Structure 1
Amino acid sequence: MTTWIQAHSAQDDIWSYFELDDDGWAQRQVDLEGAARLPVTAASLKEVLGLRDHADLVTLSAYERRYGVLAEGCLNGWQESDGVAVITRDKFERIWLEGRLRLESTDGPKAHEGTR
């Protein structure tokens, strides 16, 4: 069963949103940074694997510069972590769409550095 969660890192002032598969692996991830909640990540495992398998390293690197890097490793145990909560699919999809649109309209996360 797919699960959608949000987590907050007060130290880094980042809200992270994950779509997890049955085994706890991130399928999609959105990170929003700072008080303005600017997207710095909106990456998809399916897209990354497709690029890895069917494109070149330059194309994969360009993807990661624009959309950030997906969390590596399994997120099992998130249930015991402070500041982590289940969210609805609708909430995740709204945040995903907003993050993707913002990152597609810029040069990626690094383009926001001057606006923080």
Structure 2
Amino acid sequence: MRCYWDEEDTWFYFEADAEGWVIRQVELKGPELIPITAASLPEWQGARDAGRLNEYDNRFGITAELPVSEWEGHDPDPLTFEEFEEVWGSARRRIAPRPG
């Protein structure tokens, strides 16, 4: 799903599990849609367990801390898996390009 927060001029893209917990999240800022977050909950948990949480947060950000069912004031647009994957892939390539 995706939703827009006009106060921050930011698009939020979410992939949630069956219980509504966000497992991947992308944030695109401004008219240029600059990726500022492309976080994965399993990666975040791995970084936490490895003692590299600050490094992960600084590079990729974090996912929402509440399940979708507890959000207020959001009217998200549904996305297909393919639509989310396209946004996710593009954001990850811009945030963390592979070494040449």
Same fold (TM over 0.5): yes
Tell me the TM-score normalized by structure 1: 0.78
Q: Which runs of 5+ in 2 are unaligned?
A: none
Q: Find the partner of 1:61 among 31, 36, 54.
A: 54
Tell me the TM-score normalized by structure 2: 0.89
* Identity score, percent: 40
Q: CA separation in 2, counterparts of 1:67 and 1:50?
A: 13
Following TM superposition, the consecutive aligned residue runs of length 4 or more in structure 1 with deviations greater than 6 angstroms are none
Cα-Cα RMSD: 1.7
Q: Does 1:22 align with 2:18?
A: yes
The DSSP-based 3-state class of the residue aligned with 2:25 is strand
Greater fraction helix: 1
Q: Which runs of 5+ in 1 are unaligned?
A: 106-116
In the alignment of these two chains, the number of paired residues is 97
Q: Find the partner of 1:90 among 77, 82, 86.
A: 82
Q: How does 1:1-116 map to 2 (within 5 A)?
A: 5-53=1-49, 55-56=50-51, 59-76=52-69, 81-82=74-75, 84-105=76-97
Q: CA separation in 2, counterparts of 1:48 and 1:77?
A: 21
